[in-house]
């Protein structure tokens, strides 16, 4: 064999090797199911990875999905102690006169905050919702101001509320992306009260009403969250489902029927659980890496994460995940404060970055003695 033929053969082998290596990290996942809705999203709750989406930045009317923010704002005040679950709320005429879905509270009667919460979450009662808003902030108008402040704090930058119930208004809007932030915040911040979203029916004043979320009866993985409907918004449903250690959140808006939104949501959930898996990549209790520190009392800085890092990959590709540490600067000089950012962790599947997280100092490092600082000064020169 001539040298030229051998060289050509070697190049061919290397190219084939590279090709096979690339194929090994191709995400062998089918396209998401076709969904009959104006906008939808499927994401993993722990990793935040979006698995399917359409029009998630498009402005939509949230209808009774609005009540998720009402719930969040009330739970926030309960946690702060400004109101209590056993507070008795006097029902105003405004609350009593609310149209649409109702809990059927009576004007001037007194109903506890907890019962009103169940009436809002399970029965989607507009009367219960307004009563809670008035009790929490003094008036519904003041409560709406609170809702919008919470939205901004959560990063819901494309949302504006005009009422607590989701009653149609031209300036009452949100996006599917913003709704995913809100749903995740309720699950994360109020896990105990989130359990109320799985209640299938609630009885008040001898009137029993069923939760409109059909999937609570059809799929044992589903444990929440909220339905919504107006003529202009269509049929909407935010669903949260858990299988083993994996939790998915699906959002379907603008569907054409109650059954249609349930079918679409179940399609998305089945797709996510069938073709993806989520695992804990690194926790917060151990350093991910270490960095050299100059002029400090110690010369090693442990770098870690502020929150557990979960990764979502196609099933069977967990072992294909790699990482790269990118430091902000070449030299780290004391003093260093715990929590300060000094780099980034890039998680890759093949050549694609699927997650990024800041690497932060896991401890304080004070300046070293004068002698050690002088030594490090001269060492740094070289």
pLDDT one-digit tens code per residue, 234-246: 999 999 999 999 9
Task: Kindly report the average pLDDT of the chain as a whole number.
Answer: 91
| 92 noted as active-site residue | no
Cα 82 to Cα 1: distance, rounded to the nearest angstrom: 86
Cβ atoms of 62 and 173 closer than 8 Å: yes
Q: In Å, what is the CA distance from 374 to each residue of 331, 367, 369, 370, 378?
A: 16, 12, 9, 6, 6
Residue 124: active-site member: yes
Catalytic member of 47, 92, 101, 124: 124
Min mean pLDDT across 174-183, 294-303, 373-382 is at 373-382
Does residue 16 have a pLDDT over 70? no
pLDDT at residue 94 above 60?
Answer: yes
Catalytic, out of 64, 92, 164, 255: 64
Q: How far apart are CA 256 and CA 18, in angstroms?
A: 48
Residue 382: count other Cβ atoms within 10 Å of its Cβ. 4
Q: Is the Cβ–Cβ distance between 55 and 284 less than 8 Å?
A: no
Q: Which of 38, 47, 67, 164 is catalytic?
A: 67
Task: Report residue 377 as tokens.
Answer: 């000064």
pLDDT tier for residue 48 given thresholds of 50, 70 and 90: very high
**What number is the average pLDDT over the span 101-110?**
97
Of 193, 154, 149, 157, the C-alpha closest to 173 is 157
pLDDT at 22 (0 to 100): 40
Question: Does residue 78 surpass a pLDDT of 60?
Answer: yes
Annotation marks residue 17 as catalytic: no
* 254/233 Cα distance (integer angstroms): 6
Cis peptide before 225, with omega less than 30 degrees from 0? yes
Q: 161, 151 in Cβ contact below 8 A?
A: yes
Given pLDDT bands bounded at 50, 70 and 90, which one contains residue 1?
A: very low
What's the mean pLDDT in 19-27?
51
What confidence category does residue 294 fall into, taking pLDDT thresholds of 50, 70 and 90? confident
Q: Are 252 and 261 in contact (CB under 8 A)?
A: yes
- The burial class, CB within 10 Å (0-12 / 13-18 / 19+), for 379 is exposed
Q: Which domains does the chain have, with CATH numbers?
A: 39-277 (3.40.710.10), 283-381 (2.60.410.10)
Q: What is the pLDDT of residue 146?
A: 98
């Amino acid at each position: 064999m001539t040298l030229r033929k051998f060289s050509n053969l070697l190049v061919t082998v290397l190219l084939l090797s590279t090709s096979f290596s690339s194929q090994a990290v191709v995400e062998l996942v089918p396209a998401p199911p076709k969904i009959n809705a104006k906008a939808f999203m499927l994401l993993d709750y722990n990793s935040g990875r979006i698995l399917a989406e359409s029009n998630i930045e498009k402005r939509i009317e949230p209808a009774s999905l609005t009540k998720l923010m009402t719930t969040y704002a009330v739970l926030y005040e309960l946690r702060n102690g400004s109101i209590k679950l056993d507070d008795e709320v006097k029902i105003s005429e405004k609350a009593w006169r609310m149209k649409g879905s109702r809990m059927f509270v009576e004007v001037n009667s007194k109903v506890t905050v907890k019962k009103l919460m169940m009436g809002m979450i399970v029965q989607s009662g507009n009367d219960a919702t307004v009563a809670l808003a008035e009790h929490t902030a003094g008036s519904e108008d003041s409560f709406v101001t609170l809702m919008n402040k919470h939205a901004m704090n959560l990063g819901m930058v494309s949302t504006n509320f005009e009422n607590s119930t989701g009653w149609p208004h031209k300036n009452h809007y949100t996006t599917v992306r913003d709704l995913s932030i809100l749903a995740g915040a309720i699950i994360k911040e109020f896990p105990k009260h989130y359990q109320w979203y799985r209640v299938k029916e609630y009885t008040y004043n001898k009137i029993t009403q069923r939760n409109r979320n059909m999937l609570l009866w059809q799929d044992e993985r589903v444990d929440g969250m909220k339905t919504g409907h107006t003529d202009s918004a269509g049929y909407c449903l935010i669903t949260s489902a858990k299988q083993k250690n994996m939790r998915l959140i699906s959002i379907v808006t603008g569907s054409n029927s109650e059954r249609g939104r349930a079918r679409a949501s179940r399609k998305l959930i089945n797709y996510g659980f069938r073709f993806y898996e989520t695992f804990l990549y690194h926790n917060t209790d151990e350093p991910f890496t270490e960095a050299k520190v100059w002029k400090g009392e110690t010369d090693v800085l442990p770098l870690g994460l502020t929150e557990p890092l979960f990764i979502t990959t196609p099933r069977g590709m967990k072992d294909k995940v790699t990482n790269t540490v990118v430091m902000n600067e070449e030299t780290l000089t004391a003093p260093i404060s715990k929590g300060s950012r000094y780099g980034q962790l890039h998680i890759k599947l093949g050549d694609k970055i699927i997650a990024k997280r800041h690497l932060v100092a896991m401890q304080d490092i004070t300046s070293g003695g004068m002698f050690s600082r002088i030594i490090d000064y001269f060492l740094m020169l070289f």
